[in-house]
Amino acid sequence: MISFDPTEDQQMILETVAEFAKTTLAPRAREFEKAGAVAEDVCRSIQEMSLAMAAIPEDLGGQGLGLLSAVLINEELAYGDPAAPFGMPGFGGYLLAALELGTKEQARELIEPFADPEAHEQFGGIAWSEKKAHPERPGFQTTAKKDGDSWVLDGEKAFIGNVKRAKTFIVFAQVDEAAGWSGLGAFVVNADAVEVTGMHETLGLDCAGFGDIKLAGAKAEARLEGNGDFTNSVIRFWAKYGVLVAARQVGLSRVAFDIAREYCDIRKAFGKPIGHFQAVAFNLADRHMDAEAARELVRRAAWAWDQGKKEKRALSYSAQAVAQAHEVAMRCGNDSVQLHGGAGFMRDVIVEKLMRDAKQIGLAGPTAEQMDQLQAAVELGAELDPALVLPTPEVQAIFT
């Protein structure tokens, strides 16, 4: 049956999170931005609510509510401050990567520390991107080589969120240099085995503290080999994480639209509210349609994963949702600034931050362009070529 209403439980979570976002995140968004981190007391509250664990199965220490509930949570948090979830414990791709790439035992071990309601300082990092493509072959420059029973990693990874806070990283490296993008491996590396080499000043998402690390003979704690085919597991991980990020874009789109709408109600020009001019009102109508449609596409993608629909279908839905949400968020952020006129350009008003965050979020995880390639490959019935459907640095380096 086609139905758009959350369950009563979901509705209750939604309202609680919305209230938290409104009273705690929204008023302090600028504070997090300046500090380059989400404040400790906020991380503490978030951790106590266990919100990051929504999509993690119960037998792995999570709440077992499914990806759809996680999407609802992420959307509402982002409505308060779309940057904040990127700087909150457990909200990065780390847990989903552990889930998709690890064995059950490995996943349990990696996820367990995040289940403790006291563990508000528990961060994990995803070390995926590299600043430059390999000059001669496809695949990462960072390599992982077997040394006795363990793996040793060498190279530099870039654009990692919460890099200074992370206690552990999941590092992607080249295992088989001849196999290109099919020759990747994922490794668990402790923070004390890597060196943080630099921090970035970014366009948006300031509170997530992006930086680079260097691995010089870093010993991996474990290798995550994926469930079934490794490349497919990685594609699945990016698709699911992309859906969570897309939910944040929906929250951003909605709040950018709502702020613009309120402004158009009260701001007067030529003797009447500017919203009473068609050029302005139609623009609002367009952004409203955009945000509402993107929201349902994102929910549908999460629903498909939760219901165990065929993987190709879930991948296509995810790709559609992510690409659409990225585009829509940029339009909503941009138009919200535009409708504010000069005031929108000033940092007194939050919309300029929303616009910057929208662009940055579009690069935080798989991009719209890559997701379009993924969707089309699925719909054309082409084999999924990792060089094409993974967010490889060759095409576009991304923030994680």
Partner 1 sequence: MIEFELTDKQNMLRETLASLGKDVIRPQTLAWDRQKAVDEQFLRTFYTMQSSLRGPDNPMEDFYEGKKKRDPSKPVQTNRTAVVGCEMLAWADASIMLSLPGPGLGGPPVRASGTSEQKERFFGIFKNMDDELRWGAYGLTEPGAGSDVASIRTSCKKDGDAYILNGRKCYITMGGRASWVVIFATVDPALGRAGQRAFVVEKGTPGFFVGKLEDKMGLRANETAELVLEDCRVPVANLLGGEEKYETKEGFMTAMKTFDATRPMVAAMAVGIGRAAYEYARDFVKENYMLSRPIPRYAAIVERLARMNRNLEAARILVWKSVAMADHHQPNAKEASMGKALAGQAAINACVEAIEICGAHGSLKTDHALLEKWFRDIKVYDIFEGTGQIQRIVISKRLLTDLKSF
Footprint on this chain of partner 1 (rule: CB under 8 A):
1-7, 10, 68, 261, 264-265, 273, 275-278, 281-282, 284-286, 288-289, 292-294, 296-297, 299-300, 303-304, 307, 319-320, 323-324, 369, 371-373, 375-377, 379-382, 385, 387-388
CB-nearer residue toward partner 1: 203 or 376: 376
Tell the smallest beta-carbon distance from residue 322 to partner 1 (Å).
Answer: 10
First to last CA, the chain: 36
R_g over Cα of the chain: 21
What is the length of the chain?
A: 400
Q: How far is the CB of 352 from partner 1 (least distance, A)?
A: 22
For the CB of residue 394, give the shortest distance to partner 1 in the complex, in Å. Answer: 10
From CA 280, how far away is CA 81, in angstroms rounded? Answer: 25
Cβ closest to partner 1, residue 88 vs residue 301: 301
Q: Are 247 and 324 spatial neighbours (Cβ–Cβ below 8 Å)?
A: no
Going by C-beta distance under 8 Å and a sequence separation of 6 or more, which residues neighbour residue 109?
none
Shortest distance, position 258 Cβ to partner 1, whole Å: 10
The least CB distance from residue 268 to partner 1, in Å, is 12
Query: Which strand (E) or helix (H) includes residue 220?
Result: none
Crossing angle between the packed helical segments 66-80 and 230-266, to the nearest 10 degrees? 40
Structure tokens at 75: 């959307």
Q: Which is nearer to partner 1, 7 or 150 (CB)?
A: 7
Nearer to partner 1, 207 or 389 (CB): 389
Closer Cβ to partner 1, 69 or 122, answer by number: 69
Is the separation of the CB atoms in 186 and 97 below 8 Å?
yes
The minimum distance between CB 73 and partner 1, in angstroms, equals: 14
Q: Which is nearer to partner 1, 24 or 283 (CB)?
A: 283
Beta pairing partners, 199 = 211
Residue 334 Cβ vs partner 1, minimum distance, rounded to whole Å: 18
DSSP letter for each residue of 64-116 = --HHHHHHHHHHHHHHH-TTGGGGSTT-SSHHHHHHHHS-HHHHHHHHHHHH-
CB of 254 vs partner 1, minimal distance in Å: 13
- Select 203 or 388, whichever has its Cβ closest to partner 1: 388
- 139 touches 387 (CB < 8 A): no
Closer to partner 1 by Cβ: residue 89 or 180: 180
Distances (CA, A) of 168 to 15, 110, 125, 281: 33, 9, 6, 49
Between CA 362 and CA 200 the distance in angstroms is 17
Query: Among residues 248 and 299, whose Cβ is nearest to partner 1?
Result: 299
**Phi, psi angles (nearest 5°) of residue 81:** -160, 110
User: β-pairing, 184-190 with 222-224?
Assistant: antiparallel
In angstroms, give the least distance from the CB of 14 to partner 1: 11
Residue 326: CB atoms within 10 A of its CB come to 27
Least distance from partner 1 to the Cβ atom of residue 182, Å: 15
Of 113 and 273, which CB lies nearer to partner 1 in the complex structure? Answer: 273
Can you give the three-state secondary structure of 274-288, one letter per residue? Answer: HHHCHHHHHHHHHHH
Interstrand relation of 211-219 and 166-174 (parallel, antiparallel or unpaired): unpaired
